[in-house]
Structure 1
Amino acid sequence: MQHHVTFVRRILSFLFVHKRSLFYLLVTIITIHLLLLLGGKIYQHLDRDPDRGAIAIADGAFGESYSTPIYLEDDESTAVDESQGWSHSDSLWFYNITQGSALLPYDFYLSLESADSEEKLRSNRFIDYYRYLPQKKTFFNPDALAVGFVKDTYQGKDYMGFTCAACHTAQINYQGQAVRIDGGPAMADMVGYLTAIEKALHQTRSDPQKKARFMSAVLALSNDYKNQEAVEADLQKWTNTIQLYNTVNHSHIDYGYARLDAFGRIYNRVLQYVPNRQDVYELLTQATTPAGRYLISDEQANKVLEGINETIIGNDQFALIIQRLMSHEPGYPGLTQRQMLIVRNALFNEPDAPVSYPFLWDIARSDYVQWNGLAANSGIGPLGRNTGEVIGVFGILDWTAKDHGFSISAYLSGQRHKHKQVDFKHSIDLVNLKRIENHLGTLKSPLWPEALFGNIDVEKARAGQKLYARYCESCHQVIDRNNADRIAIAKMTSVNRINTDPAMADNSVSYRGKSGNFVNTFQAAGVGNVIIAEDAPVVQLLTSVTKGVVATPDPDKNIFRRWGDWLYTLVGSFFTNPIRTSSVKAGNYDPDTTANPYASLLSYKARPLNGIWATAPFLHNGSVPSLYDLMLPKKKAGDPEDGEYRPDEFMVGSREFDPVKVGFRSDGYDGTAMKTIRVGDLNSGHEYAAGHTPQPDGSLPPALTTEQRWQLLEYLKTL
């Protein structure tokens, strides 16, 4: 104790003696940082392509060719060149701002051919087929990558990664004309594209001619690879990495276009890093077949885990574990694909609750976000939420175990008393995440383009407004898109009241995993502190690791810039957030209790519906193709055959707009068949307009007539 007191006195004495020098140093650091931020602000507006990089596509997927996409004209409250409140440069900056994602080495992505073809997997044809958005070369995008595909750099190497825009930029086609919607839900098939990447990598390794072309293309770039040996080593490493990701996240639910189980995949990425060697050993040796037979012996498990780190396993070692589990060499289990799924279910959780990509306008002004209201959006909440997103979309997590000592990340993640502590080194760009959130605060919802889709019937819309007030407004607040002080209030409704598909909400609470180094740590919940058990809800583990990552400055910057940026990010995130104070959740849901501290997550969020016309398909899991169909009841046993019901099967993937029912073309082409017969895909619930779901006050207004449905639909176009 005396030693510690003496040490503190010496520190205080040093600070007092050198206070003037330290003051000047602090002022210098702040000045340099402000100049860098000013330079970044100027740089943000250098890309001013009038088409915002968009290009025409001939012979597009599903027979949809389109001219150069346009952006909607805004109302009189904004500048002439603005759409949804964003200028040309605003859109292009959003498409190309990095966030620390690393799906593949950049040289690999530029050079990779598709399976069974010499055509590059990044070609516009493939990009359009998987429903991403092709772009031309612009200042920020010299290699003409798709919207939201960017070159990111970490520890001196370049990677291709995703930005927010990859999943949150929409396109609507109508009679050959395309319209881009910034912040809208993507039609993307991420699972399909990642599967295609895995197949391409495997074939590149096994096909000598394809491999030779790939090697030549990578080396010709003269970037991160200087010889064939380095390319060969990373080709094997990244093939294993993508295979691991796809194996871990395999689901019996076909997501198809326009959906992704982002929560489930983020949870599984956390479980690649949190469990320790002993946790994995126990899970492997306890895995059993449906008949109760153990799959892996103690000896086999020890051989599989030979040389694996005790505390932090990580991506590369997990890929090695997967390889060894499937190996037929002496001493290894030699598991089949079906047996591997049993092991996967022991180590991870099946991501079987795909949801629509949410639209982003007004997200920065929402009090709670995510479909189940998981994330409080006040203070630095958006920084934590966006950090979790980048963990899910391939942020590099260079986590290691270190000896006990003080660190901010250990303190915030609950590890301050642990003998070993996780060092959360990572590629995630916290400064850019803050800048993105601020940028989204200026984005407005799109306005119905009457010149393209037809004029709104004013009389019908007035009648529809009254119906909206009676049937919708108790949950879906009406806001003014031009009000600078607007706040979007999330109205939560419990799953057992709204009766929509429960999978996403259930999984967010019920999915569990081994807690590794976080076992017996304390974590604040809404009703008090919880102790993280050995088998813990993954939502707890995600909270811990997100705090640890946010508390870890960028390793790619010098010490002054690193800590200056970190302080700027945290302090700025609080003071620039319009939601500064956490509010009580609004709505009709089961509150958290000490017995069930996550009860409120078993609910779904209703948000303002401005711009809703541009966000098909509908319901949180994309199980209803149009707004008109959403007003219809789900057909149940005993219902008359000649009634109007929501379609139980329809096609997804087309961007051709239906301005009558307000949705996308849902038949007549070979897209993804959405069959609403399984949990995860159900199209039931939210039947307010059909007179089947009670209002929050318990009343049950009668079902809308056909005429009233069209009136309400007309009003929804005005929002």
Structure 2
Amino acid sequence: MTKTFRTVTECSVAFLALAVGSAAWSQPLPETATACASGDLLCLDQGWADNQRSWWYTTSQGSRLLPLSWALALKTADGQGAMFGQPHLQLLGYLANPVSQDNPDGLPVGFVVDHDPRRSADLMCDTFPETCRSRTMREPWLGLNCSACHTAEVTHDGRTLRIDGAPAAADFNALVVGTENALRATLDDVDRFSAFAREVIGSTEDWERTSSLAVQMSEQIDWMEKLRRINHGDVAPGPARLDAQGHILTKVSAINGADDPSTAFASDAPASYPFIWNTYQQGKLQWNGIAGEVIKIPIRGNVTDIGALVRNTSEVIGVFAHIDANRGYAGLGYDSSVRVREMIGLERLLSSLQSPQWPEDVLGPIDTELAARGGELFEQKCRSCHAHLAPTDIRTPANDRMMSLNRAGTDVFLACNTYLRRTAAGNMRGQRTFGFVGDKIRSEDSTHLMLVNAAVGAIFGKFDELVSSLFEQIEPEPEEGMMAMAMVNGVPGEVLPGVVDPEKKRRAERCLNADSDLLAYKSRPLNGIWATAPYLHNGSVPTLYDLLLPPVARNFQPDPQFFPSLPGPTGPFRSESFAVGTGLIDTEKVGVMASGGADDWIFTVRDTAGNIIPGNSNAGHDYGNAALTDEDRFALIEYMKGL
């Protein structure tokens, strides 16, 4: 039996994960600690030492959701608990991280403190005038980094495994909406506001500071409401899903200085958080390949990936970074809270993350004979789209490839919304997309072009950090194929059968007949795929077994001439409803196992009238699934456990 995980000593720090705030501690805090040190939680060995994992969990990218003092004092909307206390955030799917020097406030994984009193002092003062005037911008702020959404835990027979880089089961939407509701409930209740003010400023006797705090809270509530109003999606994302691209593009619509930000497109195409090992080896990133490789700069053994930097800057702009893109020019740099140096360090650390190997001593042994049969099937049916990478291979190109919407057959709306979404350009009108180069942005243009402009501007705004990072070590050193559908020139049959929304049908038809690099989904190596359920880009399939079944839902009615293996009148078919966020792993079918609990969040393909919900279709990735026997399916699953 091979060693598949490692544990950390110092188990005495485990109970600290329940604490918020560290002022009462008289003993020195551990320099680094993660919840891997505790009880039944085991971290898989993915090539990181514990100090590297701790740095990944606690380093700011420049995200600023709320002042830290507010976050530590804020109660949930119902007043029953701390909004940002670990017990409540764990209910939302965020993971425990104990108190240490890296995490003195005992915040969960990926909840980080950003403090830059010099360069963040006057950010977004048009939006938050009182917050700037009162110097609150200079205080520590609470935000999120990438580990909050890309760290997972799965449980089997009472044993819990932590997997770095895997999609989290977190409910981001509940966090954002819950924060707005908590602020509103606090401001609207005299007694709650008084208690909040006493914790934040130490007294309610200082009328000027108390009044200022109320105005600042109103500013934050108004900003959150504005973003929510533009997003206004009707498709509930729930745990493990977020329309991240929609949220990011919404933020761009709100910060570019346009008088009337576009509200034509909702953030209504939730996607599963991608698994992020081997990203350094991929030519296209994100489900629809919107972030491509640009250039990697190696100097003195340090590699800076500019494409990854643009991608990560785009991400942090969407997730609470402060940025002034409503004035100035991208080529000269936008002022922002984005931390270029730290993002480069995090990306370098990520480049050393290995994919998780199936832990046989916890999840059960792999049947080698059945896996060998599955390997033969995989070579015949899957290898043309999914290249092979060994779990420890962090250098070989991934040979990822993009599949058009017609060929992939999956729900179209993540890619389609990004392609079609346009907004008024505001301050970006007439600017080059990449600052000094690229097409000029028109008065109304594709929002994703403005996102590139904002990201490049934020990077140029921290040009000193970019240059210095080329020469320095930032991240800590460790202490110790399937046959494609033959579609040509258009979409056969009805578009979106089972969907009743005519506007959605029109948009889908435009996208399915258009020619753009954005209208595609990525296939990539499947090493570690066992740890990434639910499957497909929108998290609509619970297990690998279901993925190998034919779906009932379709994005279009395919022509049998090109797709002869349409399912017959009998099943089995893919599940169209299942619980999400339970944390339980089905080791036979490999994927999400329902707990049957009353509080389970249920994903469903269809609405209560039986119509397919646009954004939730589980169609696609069916290249003859009906022809597979169950023996074939379980052989393929057994093989994929070992990838």
Smaller-chain TM-score range?
0.7 to 0.9
Could you give the per-residue CA deviations for residues 510-562 of structure 1, whole angstroms, max 9, x where no partner exists?
A: 1001112333444479xx95443222111111112221111112xxxxxxxx7
Aligned partner (choices 296, 307, 330) of residue 381 of structure 1? 307
Q: Could you tell me which residue of structure 2 aligns to residue 424 of structure 1?
A: 334
Q: Could you tell me which residue of structure 1 aligns to residue 498 of structure 2?
A: none
Distance (whole Å) between structure 1 residues aligned to residue 13 and residue 523 of structure 2: 34
Deviates more, 1:485-494 or 1:104-113: 485-494
Partner SS for 1:599:
coil
> Is the contact between residue 52 and residue 92 of structure 1 (CA under 8 Å) also seen in structure 2?
no
> Is the contact between residue 170 and residue 184 of structure 1 (CA under 8 Å) also seen in structure 2?
yes
Partner SS for 2:634:
helix
Q: Could you tell me which residue of structure 2 aligns to residue 71 of structure 1?
A: 42
Q: Could you tell me which residue of structure 1 aligns to residue 478 of structure 2?
A: none
Aligned partner (choices 597, 615, 624) of residue 680 of structure 1? 615
User: Are 2:102 and 1:140 equivalent residues in the alignment?
Assistant: yes
Cα separation, partners in 2 of 1:169 and 1:196, compared to 1, 3 Å: same
Amino acid aligned to 1:658: D
Q: Could you tell me which residue of structure 2 aligns to residue 11 of structure 1?
A: none
Distance (whole Å) between structure 1 residues aligned to residue 428 and residue 51 of structure 2: 44
Partner SS for 2:96:
coil
Cα separation, partners in 2 of 1:504 and 1:51, compared to 1, 3 Å: farther
Q: Could you tell me which residue of structure 1 aligns to residue 193 of structure 2?
A: 211
Could you give the per-residue CA deviations for residues 32-55 of structure 1, whole angstroms, max 9, x where no partner exists?
A: xxxxxxxxxxxxxxxx87569766
Distance (whole Å) between structure 2 residues aligned to residue 71 and residue 132 of structure 1: 17
Distance (whole Å) between structure 2 residues aligned to residue 52 and residue 655 of structure 1: 25
User: Are 2:87 and 1:125 equivalent residues in the alignment?
Assistant: yes
Partner SS for 1:536:
strand
Paired residues, what number?
534
Aligned partner (choices 509, 522, 535) of residue 605 of structure 1? 522
Aligned partner (choices 202, 209, 217) of residue 184 of structure 2? 202
Q: Give the C-alpha shift of residue 410 in structure 1.
A: 2.9
Aligned partner (choices 457, 480, 483) of residue 548 of structure 1? 457
Distance (whole Å) between structure 2 residues aligned to residue 49 and residue 160 of structure 1: 29
Distance (whole Å) between structure 2 residues aligned to residue 72 and residue 448 of structure 1: 12
Q: Could you tell me which residue of structure 2 aligns to residue 256 of structure 1?
A: 238
Q: Could you tell me which residue of structure 2 aligns to residue 710 of structure 1?
A: 634
Aligned partner (choices 277, 282, 298) of residue 361 of structure 1? 277
User: Are 2:63 and 1:101 equivalent residues in the alignment?
Assistant: yes
Q: Could you tell me which residue of structure 2 aligns to residue 644 of structure 1?
A: 572
> Is the contact between residue 248 and residue 315 of structure 2 (CA under 8 Å) also seen in structure 1?
yes
Q: CA RMSD in A?
A: 3.1
Q: Give the C-alpha shift of residue 96 in structure 1.
A: 0.2
Distance (whole Å) between structure 2 residues aligned to residue 55 and residue 656 of structure 1: 23
Distance (whole Å) between structure 2 residues aligned to residue 140 and residue 597 of structure 1: 49
- The gaps in structure 2 that reach 5 residues or longer are 1-7, 19-36, 118-137, 296-305, 474-483, 490-512, 555-565, 606-611
Q: Give the C-alpha shift of residue 230 in structure 1.
A: 3.3
Amino acid aligned to 1:631: L
Q: Which has the higher helix share?
A: 1
User: Are 2:589 and 1:661 equivalent residues in the alignment?
Assistant: yes
Partner SS for 1:272:
helix
> Is the contact between residue 475 and residue 587 of structure 1 (CA under 8 Å) also seen in structure 2?
no
Q: Could you tell me which residue of structure 2 aligns to residue 352 of structure 1?
A: 268
> Is the contact between residue 278 and residue 353 of structure 2 (CA under 8 Å) also seen in structure 1?
yes
Distance (whole Å) between structure 1 residues aligned to residue 9 and residue 160 of structure 2: 17
Distance (whole Å) between structure 2 residues aligned to residue 636 and residue 587 of structure 1: 17
Q: Give the C-alpha shift of residue 231 in structure 1.
A: 2.3
Aligned partner (choices 156, 162, 170) of residue 144 of structure 2? 162
Aligned partner (choices 446, 466, 469) of residue 566 of structure 1? 466
> Is the contact between residue 67 and residue 178 of structure 1 (CA under 8 Å) also seen in structure 2?
no
> Is the contact between residue 433 and residue 450 of structure 2 (CA under 8 Å) also seen in structure 1?
no
Cα separation, partners in 2 of 1:129 and 1:537, compared to 1, 3 Å: same
Distance (whole Å) between structure 2 residues aligned to residue 226 and residue 617 of structure 1: 51
TM-score (normalizing by structure 2): 0.77
Cα separation, partners in 2 of 1:233 and 1:69, compared to 1, 3 Å: farther
Q: Give the C-alpha shift of residue 570 in structure 1.
A: 5.9
> Is the contact between residue 250 and residue 350 of structure 1 (CA under 8 Å) also seen in structure 2?
yes
> Is the contact between residue 110 and residue 145 of structure 2 (CA under 8 Å) also seen in structure 1?
yes
Cα separation, partners in 2 of 1:352 and 1:130, compared to 1, 3 Å: same
Distance (whole Å) between structure 2 residues aligned to residue 365 and residue 444 of structure 1: 12
Distance (whole Å) between structure 1 residues aligned to residue 258 and residue 106 of structure 2: 42
User: Are 2:295 and 1:371 equivalent residues in the alignment?
Assistant: no
Q: Give the C-alpha shift of residue 590 in structure 1.
A: 9.8
Distance (whole Å) between structure 2 residues aligned to residue 168 and residue 688 of structure 1: 29
Could you give the per-residue CA deviations for residues 307-330 of structure 1, whole angstroms, max 9, x where no partner exists?
A: xxxxxxxxxxxxxxxxxxxxxxxx
Q: Could you tell me which residue of structure 2 aligns to residue 615 of structure 1?
A: 532
Amino acid aligned to 1:374: I
Q: Give the C-alpha shift of residue 641 in structure 1.
A: 5.8
Distance (whole Å) between structure 1 residues aligned to residue 488 and residue 453 of structure 2: 25
Could you give the per-residue CA deviations for residues 686-715 of structure 1, whole angstroms, max 9, x where no partner exists?
A: 012505xxxxxxxxxxx2211011100000
> Is the contact between residue 362 and residue 441 of structure 1 (CA under 8 Å) also seen in structure 2?
yes
Distance (whole Å) between structure 1 residues aligned to residue 208 and residue 535 of structure 2: 49
> Is the contact between residue 17 and residue 106 of structure 2 (CA under 8 Å) also seen in structure 1?
no
> Is the contact between residue 58 and residue 110 of structure 2 (CA under 8 Å) also seen in structure 1?
yes
Distance (whole Å) between structure 1 residues aligned to residue 54 and residue 488 of structure 2: 42
Distance (whole Å) between structure 2 residues aligned to residue 588 and residue 159 of structure 1: 52
* Identical aligned residues as a percent: 34
